Every structure is written in structure tokens, then in C-alpha cells.
């Protein structure tokens, strides 16, 4: 069976639904720190589980004969700046717990998400390379950079089969985001449909790498199904889809909602966004495991508006 830790999160909840559709509800064990609000997560087994408690994770692994763990629990960039030590402890101790269970042979495969947040102000901003200077300036980015180092170490030293993707900002209508800097690209749709206006917390020319959630979920499942021999990067793979500014996504939304207006009031998250790249080179993922995105800006805006209207 497969265990998803952080199944109530922005990625975890859609990953749970996709894996259950693929493998059957009872093959996928969902877990999170508290019971889910979203009842669909209860269509299969659900466990309340603290990702920082290795014994609790091991109990679930043994009980359900878990072979693979997707560790999706983390505190993201904006919230991490408000609670640095909490973010560090959650992001790192949860990873050590899962890597150590794999090292002890109690599970066979691990997925762990990294992020474009591993890059910093000294990183080349356009078409950021797979291997480059990385001086992250957020607690979240530091934890993801360190986590990548540990994933590679556990693979080289103990043969742990851990795979990782540096997600860009992820956009979906099925789940609300949790404390990220790229969340404006989700909030803007909710506000556009509800109020016809959105006050954006980033400046209009802030270009960031983004991706529609279906592309991210497909990439996650694709990298986990790839033959081990084809995984050449054991820190974390760059992944890219669309790069756009708040001005560009607002203009695309106006194609659907002509009355929509947007204003700009950058807050503390502007400095975080400014430290990140504008676009990413994901050649390695394309070459090693056949990655290719399918949602461009036009298609993403269309499915987001249709999705929110049908909710």
C-alpha cells in the first residue's frame, strides 16, 4: 500500500484522489495531523498522524503493510517566516523519520517535494539550471535545500530510493493553498468570481514559475513509476510549466470576466518572491523521465474559472 503524509494539504488531497482513482481506495492510506474537513478523503483509510513522530509512522506502516510513502507535510514559505523553528522542525524531522524507515528497509520508496524556494537572489533568475548557486533566504527554502542534500546522502550512502521534484507555484481550484507566496495566483480567481476585484500582495511585474495542479500530480506519479536506473538526480528535479506575472494572469482572467479589476499592494511576501527565479530549465526531467507539461496560461485560467463556477 501507499501512505500519504499530509493528505489534507494543497497537493496531498489531490494526490490522494489521483492515486486512489488509479490503485483503488483501500490501497492508499491518507494521513494528516487532524481529521479532514473534506469528506472525500474518507473514501479510503485515513489515519491521524504526526509526521514528526517516527513510532506513530511506523505503526501505520506495519498495520497497513505500507511500501511507499509520499511525504507531503510541510510549512510553506510565508508561514515559515512567522514560525522559523516550527517550520524547520516539521520540515526536517518528518523527512528524517521517513528516510530512516527507508534506510531500515521498513519501506521501499519515498517521494519528497522540494520547491523553487531552494533558489535565492544569487541564483541565475531566467531558465534557472538544474545545478546552480543556491542561497535561499527563507526558512522554508533552507529546509528544502537541506532536505535535498539529505535525500541525495541517504541514496548514495544507504541506497534509499527517494525521488523529489522542485515544484513551482501550484494552482488548483479543488483545494485552498496554505501559507505560500505563490498563493496570489489562486486567491485572484476566488476574488474575481466573488467580488470582481482582487488586491494582489505581489507587484504587477513579479514573474514566477507556476504550474496547474494536474500537471504537478501527473509529474509526481510519473517520477515514482520511472525505472530506478533512469533517475539520475537524487537531490531534486527542476520542473517547469508556465511563468507569468500578476498583470498577465489578470489580463487572461479579464478575457472571461471583462468587469474584473486588480490593484497591487505588495506585502512581506514581495521580498520572498523577488528572491526566487522567474523561469526554470527542466531539461533533466524531460530527458530522464519524459516530463512535459500540458497546461499553458490560457488553458489553466479556463479550467480554474470553469472549476470554481461549477463548485
Quote the least distance from Cβ 276 to ligand VAH, whole Å: 7
For residue 255, the Cα-to-chain-centroid distance in whole angstroms is 28
Quote the least distance from Cβ 39 to ligand VAH, whole Å: 25
45 vs 168, beta carbon nearer ligand VAH? 168
74 vs 223, beta carbon nearer ligand VAH? 74
Residue 31's closest CA among 6, 59, 56, 57?
6
46 vs 276, beta carbon nearer ligand VAH? 276
Residues that bind ligand VAH (CB under 6 A): 76-77, 115-117, 140, 168-169, 180-182
Let me know: does 53 contact 214? Beta carbons within 8 Å.
no
Quote the least distance from Cβ 87 to ligand VAH, whole Å: 10
Let me know: does 195 contact 135? Beta carbons within 8 Å.
no
Residue 3's closest CA among 22, 16, 14, 21?
16
Q: How far apart are CA 109 and CA 266, in angstroms?
A: 41
Quote the least distance from Cβ 115 to ligand VAH, whole Å: 4
57 vs 171, beta carbon nearer ligand VAH? 171
Quick one: angle between helices 246-254 and 184-195, nearest 10? 30
- Measure CA of the first residue to CA of the last residue in the chain; give whole Å: 31
44 vs 209, beta carbon nearer ligand VAH? 209
Neighbouring residues of 70: CB distance < 8 A, sequence distance ≥ 6: 2, 3, 4, 5, 12, 15, 19, 110, 111, 220, 224
Active-site choice (140, 167, 198, 264): 140
Q: Is 212 in the active site?
A: no
Residue 36's closest CA among 54, 56, 16?
16
Quote the least distance from Cβ 8 to ligand VAH, whole Å: 16
Helix, strand or coil, per DSSP, at residue 35: coil
- List active site positions: 140
Amino acid at each position: 500500500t501507499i501512505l500519504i503524509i499530509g493528505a489534507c494539504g494543497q497537493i496531498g488531497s489531490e494526490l490522494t484522489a489521483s492515486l486512489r482513482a488509479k490503485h483503488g481506495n483501500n490501497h492508499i492510506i491518507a494521513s494528516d495531523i487532524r481529521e479532514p474537513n473534506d469528506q472525500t478523503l474518507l473514501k479510503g483509510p485515513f489515519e491521524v498522524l504526526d509526521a514528526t513522530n517516527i513510532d506513530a509512522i511506523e505503526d501505520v506502516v506495519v498495520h497497513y503493510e505500507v511500501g511507499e510513502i509520499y511525504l507531503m507535510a510541510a510549512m510553506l514559505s510565508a508561514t515559515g517566516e512567522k514560525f522559523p523553528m516550527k517550520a524547520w522542525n516539521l520540515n526536517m524531522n518528518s523527512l528524517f523519520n521517513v528516510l530512516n524507515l527507508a534506510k531500515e528497509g521498513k519501506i521501499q520508496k519515498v517521494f519528497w517535494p522540494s520547491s523553487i524556494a531552494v533558489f535565492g537572489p544569487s541564483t541565475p533568475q531566467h531558465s534557472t539550471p538544474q545545478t546552480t548557486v543556491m542561497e535561499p533566504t527563507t526558512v522554508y527554502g533552507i529546509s528544502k535545500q537541506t532536505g535535498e542534500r539529505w535525500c541525495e546522502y541517504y541514496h548514495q550512502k544507504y541506497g534509499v530510493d527517494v525521488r523529489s521534484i522542485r515544484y513551482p507555484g501550484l494552482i488548483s481550484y479543488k483545494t485552498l493553498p496554505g501559507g505560500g507566496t505563490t498563493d496570489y495566483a489562486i486567491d485572484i480567481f476566488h476574488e474575481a468570481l466573488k467580488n470582481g476585484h482582487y488586491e494582489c500582495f505581489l507587484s504587477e511585474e513579479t514573474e514566477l514559475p507556476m504550474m496547474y495542479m494536474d500537471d504537478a500530480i501527473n509529474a509526481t506519479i510519473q517520477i515514482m513509476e520511472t525505472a530506478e536506473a533512469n533517475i539520475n538526480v537524487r537531490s531534486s528535479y527542476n520542473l517547469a510549466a508556465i511563468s507569468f506575472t500578476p498583470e498577465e494572469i489578470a489580463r487572461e482572467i479579464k478575457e472571461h470576466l471583462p468587469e474584473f479589476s486588480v490593484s497591487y499592494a505588495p506585502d512581506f511576501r514581495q521580498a520572498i518572491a523577488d528572491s526566487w527565479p522567474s523561469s526554470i530549465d527542466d531539461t533533466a526531467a524531460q530527458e530522464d523521465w519524459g516530463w512535459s507539461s500540458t497546461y499553458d496560461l490560457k488553458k489553466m485560467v479556463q479550467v480554474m474559472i470553469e472549476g470554481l463556477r461549477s463548485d
